[in-house]
Chain A
């Protein structure tokens, strides 16, 4: 059951966090 919550609730947040982090980093790189 833990894997259900991880994939259905934590994974989407992680992907959005990755998008946020990479877009910030790309901004610093110019």
Chain B
């Protein structure tokens, strides 16, 4: 292939038909789930704790993997070879342990104390008479989540624009409208069931595409020989610096702090089933991540120069490779898998942000002494979902170019603030309310300061120091203050029946 030849994506009616079929399926699920989700806010926000092990496993892993996996990790593997796998290895191992241990304690405690949200969990574990703990957590969630959802909408706009030649702004509005329809109508059940379908689309694309692309090139040996001839870095999984490797592996520290993942663990019907979810979720995570890296490696063999990709952007590798190697209908499915990754993350984040407003601010603080009907709470939840979508779209339009840094930044901010505090709350009886405040504040502050100090941010991903600072602050302040009187009972509530 001529190195100066730039490939472009072309519009195809079969691809559009396959893609439209996928969208209809997702919207249909929203309508199907609407009656169940309208019963009350427990049903609307955590599916009434009736989800089975497969739904929880797949929903938890795909909610945590946005378009970053399909477009970002493939691009990273294209740019720096197999060492990109370390960006996934960290979160895969962390999430395995979350499923097996952390999730069971969280699920047991939240079921016994009727907690629907993560701020609910903290408020019941440590007491929150004035609502300060809830307000702090809700503020952290909203600051990071609205940017996070915006970034998903902008990614959808980008995918519509490169896949179907639509205007970026039309693409953003379309993505937001689709997510809005099924999330607003169908709530958690729709989001979880659609996550399952989306998980299938994603794994299908991430297995099929690298296998076909590598076979078309003449097999794995031919690809490896080509990569070795280009640069040995492209076949060396240990080519990273120590700081970069730690930062990559440290991405996993974000999983226990991202409430849209934690809500999945809280929704399982039987906590003992989380063991099976651990195996299913880990297998899915492994296959998706390794598939993404193989796509990057195959792409490097096909396109030795980045200028051969549309706009010279490594994030275009995935759709370009799919268009060149798959028949149009399958290409449509691959495009759908990009939207699946985007939407499975955005819908979960949307519900978590809305639940923190309705449950934690409205029901538990503003209407603390009143009995608000479930019907009214569900209606309010739907209005809040709509408002957050509008805010995220506006934010996406205003800061189209800025929102992408928010993904890793929001992952870090939530991971650093909520991760260590929730781990200690679940595993250390001596943890105190004051310690939690110290952890939330220091995790957020160190993440922001580290990110904005060029000397430090160049050294390592801000989540690693943010997480450590939060862990240390929670521990030290807890040692100097008094734990809640009901700590022993709380720990009993975390155990299996």
Contact = CB atoms under 8 A, between A and B. Distances in A.
Given A12-B286, A15-B92, A18-B96, A23 B237 contact: no
A8 to B, nearest CB: 6
Interface string A3-30: 1101110011001101110111011001
Contacts of B286: 12, 15-16
A23 B275 contact: yes
Given A7-B82, A15-B286, A23-B275, A1 B100 contact: no
Contacts of B92: 15
A8 B96 contact: no
Contacts of B287: 12
A10 to B, nearest CB: 11
A6 B92 CA distance: 17
Question: Is chain B's interface secondary structure helix, strand, loop, or mixed overall?
Answer: helix
Contact of B236 (A4, A15, A23): A4
A28 to B, nearest CB: 10
Nearest to B92: A15
Interface residues of B, number: 27
A11 B82 CA distance: 12
A23 B286 CA distance: 16
A4 B275 contact: no
Interface in B88-112: 89, 92-93, 96, 100-101
B235 A22 contact: no
A5 to B, nearest CB: 9
A30 to B, nearest CB: 7
Q: Does more than half of chain A's interface fall in helix, strand or loop, or is it mixed? A: helix
Interface stretch (B17-25, B178-186, B276-284, B387-395): B276-284
Contact of A8 (B237, B272, B278, B282): B237
A1 B283 contact: no
Contacts of A8: 82, 85, 237, 290, 293-294
Contacts of B93: 15
B14 interface: no
B96 A4 contact: no
Nearest to A20: B279
B496 interface: yes
Contacts of B101: 26
Contacts of A19: 96, 278-279, 282-283
Contacts of A23: 100, 275-276, 278-279
B448 interface: no
Nearest to B101: A26
17 contacts: A1-B224, A1-B235, A3-B236, A3-B237, A8-B293, A8-B294, A12-B290, A15-B89, A16-B282, A18-B96, A19-B278, A22-B278, A23-B278, A23-B279, A24-B275, A26-B101, A30-B496
Interface of A: 1, 3-4, 6-8, 11-12, 15-16, 18-20, 22-24, 26-27, 30
